[in-house]
Amino acid sequence: MGILVIGLLIFLGVHSIRIVADPWRTAQRARLGEMTWKGLYTLASIVGFVLIVWGYVIARREPVVVWTPPVGIRHLTILLVAIAFVLITAAYVPGNRIKRVIGHPMAAGTAIWAFGHLIANGTANAIVLFAAFLVWAVASFLAARHRDQVAGTTYPAGTVGRDVVTVVVGLVVWGVFGGFLHGWLIGVNPMG
């Protein structure tokens, strides 16, 4: 599980710089230039992500069962992940009211995704993975909302049409991923 933890430290560490060291981040972006900063950020994120996947695969070979999820919890997880996909989509569809209300739907969606997976998985590696993402996503959401409040940031009013696009796209992507890709990529078919 060490590789998984190292991957989480790198990946979530890079994604936490703005939460814990925003002035340093701003100074580094100015010193290195936007493209160099983004390149280093992306490289570190990819290394962290690869280590997370590799470490999780290794840990799945000899799982340590901490608890057994209750019967039926899978259905709640499927619903939570559907909501998470809609929220994550809201981060990318311009002019939707979901973003106006939530402010940072990517972080909120990640938190809901992580919580859904945390309650549906009882192995030590799953608990470490999803609890880490849950803690990070909640911290990221709260820090971003605080930055918005301090800066007086507001998000543009959206339209019903953009809300519909957001929900439909989010649910279609959720259906394709949950119904087909999750089993192929992860080895677990949540809807099967």
86-131 tens-digit pLDDT: 999 999 999 999 999 999 999 999 999 999 999 999 999 999 999 9
* Longest Cα–Cα distance in the chain: 54
The two structure tokens encoding residue 128:
């470490």
Reported as a pLDDT band with limits 50, 70 and 90, residue 191 is confident
Reported as a pLDDT band with limits 50, 70 and 90, residue 71 is confident
The torsion angle over the Cα atoms of residues 63, 64, 70 and 71, rounded to 10 degrees, is: 30
Cβ proximity of 82 and 74 under 8 Å: no
How far is the C-alpha of 4 from the C-alpha of 54, rounded, in Å?
7
